[in-house]
Structure 1
Amino acid sequence: MLLGEPSGDTVEVAVAFVKECGATLLEVSPRVFDIFRGILQEGDLEYTSKCLVESLVSINFENHKAIRPELDLLDEKVTHIISLFDEIDPETSLDVFKPDPEFHQNERKYEQLKRKILGEEEDHTETDLVSLRRKIYQTITSSLNYEDAGHKLLQLLRIKPGQEMELCVMILECCTEEITYRSFYGHLAHRFCLKSKAYIECFKNLFVQQYVTLHRLETNKLRIVAMFFAHVLAADALPWEVLGNIRLTEEDTTTFSRIFVKILFQELSEKLGVGLDEKLQDPAMEETFEPIFPKDHPKNMRFSMKFFTFIGLGGITGKLRQLLQALY
């Protein structure tokens, strides 16, 4: 800006810029200040511009560090030097807006990273979460049907990005408070899964959380949780890959997890009929379902076969039986 004939505007912008990064310029290019001194000596500036330059020259930049100590958080620093004469890719494609299909997930990652670096407190305090859960509970329990509940939760509460998990947890908790399973909750979960991938991810995580903590549930609640996820899976609202978290062996299961798997698959069989076997025999999903139908050891293969035979679903282990027979 100062290489040509300096004007009042260019001097003002240049002074403002140098005030922000003068400490660094002193280290990498101290000649910049010679340019300002030369402009002063020529005396062709307006009075206002001359005062700006004089104030700049008088600043002791040693007391104006480029980076505040409390913000100097990087252990490794890399300096990128770009010449005005180098050919630079302008990346014009960035001028065109492109929607991010994983916007909400990336926003959450950014917020987590920001809190980690800057040490900010969580956006939602415990009080805020309690208030949100109360509103969700009241909205669900006061709704006429799942469509009414879904509309109110979406339009009135306006769940913010990052709060989806709270909604999913409350849907399941409300479901387990019932005496018996109500399809109302499965339909409600289905609706939110169709609404956004963020809810699908939340229910996938919730499935895993519930499965590893089944021992904490009463028998009736365990039954309701299994029926809830069977409903969502049968509707294809939740990817069947979540079943890959179930490893059906004697060592990897407990009384609680066996009851859960029993009810889950019996409900799936009732809802899908022969469609269940078709789903489980899909070659594209064979690797996903291998923990349920383990092939690593004959003992585990027999356990899986006996388990499904005991609960009346021995037919879905046909491929496993053939494989076991081929071993002998």
Structure 2
Amino acid sequence: MRRTKVAVAVLAFAIAVIGPVVAEPATASAARLIGIDDVSPTRSSVFIESSAMGRTIQVDVLHPAGDGARPSYYLLDGLDPGVGQSTWTNATDAEAFFAGKNLNVVLPVGGQASYYTDWQRDDPRFGRYQWETFLTRELPPIIDGEFHGNGVNAIGGLSMGGNAAFIITTRNPWLYHAVAGYSACPDTTLASGAVMFSIANRGGNPANMWGAPGSPAWAEHDPALMADRLRGKTIYLSTGTGVPGPHESEMKPQLAENIFLGGPVEVGVNTCTAAFEQRLRALGIPARIDFSPSGTHSWSYWQDTLHASWPTIGSAIGA
């Protein structure tokens, strides 16, 4: 490791609370930097002892080789994240695509079926999930301090990670200039059945996250209900239709189940995206939304939309 057992005390950002259900980083949240492995001059694996989760979390960072202040794009994984690395680097050309760009791409590793949120209770299958606290309080000061982040951030993700990106942004609007969702459904109420099933299908108890659907905590994590907090931010969403498209012969082993589920899942995402677009329009909030005439819920399409989104997201954060 380039840096081993370097203790870094991280204080939470001081902010004004925006509304009654916005996450409140009012107390100091300490995290300890264990070390950084330089995989290459432009890729590093960061190991952080999270106080919130009581475990060491790996975060991969794509970054320029030199110094100089730069923005950061936090890019979240899906329901079944990669082992040892983010699936963004394992199943797409993200590393090559971002090479030469002046930004940090921050890729948390782990968090299966977590929705990158703070769970109300520890889960027998997953343990302690306090991902929102980690991503919004513990991680940014370390990224900015170690990788020259300038405090200008965007957040995005695919599927579950895209849902989470919108949830986190509406609960922490002070932290992000832009938000992106690739085949995501940022309407927690509309997606509640799918959310519950996806957690249970992976061995977790969905009631440990926000309680039963319809409880106040579900409303407090619903971007459709809190969409006004997206006003002034750059927004990107993309969806296919579930109709097989040009990439079906390129099925990624990371999501082999999409051979059977990728079409039906994307049909649901398409419906949800259209509903969320109407919600934004009703509030007069502009967004770029890419509706593809084909495409299933699979990685080759997310690589395409990552590329397509970048002029929108990159310009919003000055990358």
Normalised to the residue count of structure 2, the TM-score between the two structures is: 0.25
Normalised to the residue count of structure 1, the TM-score between the two structures is: 0.25
| Structure with more strand by fraction | 2
| Structure with more helix by fraction | 1
Structure with the larger RCO, 1 or 2 (CA within 8 Å, 6+ apart): 2
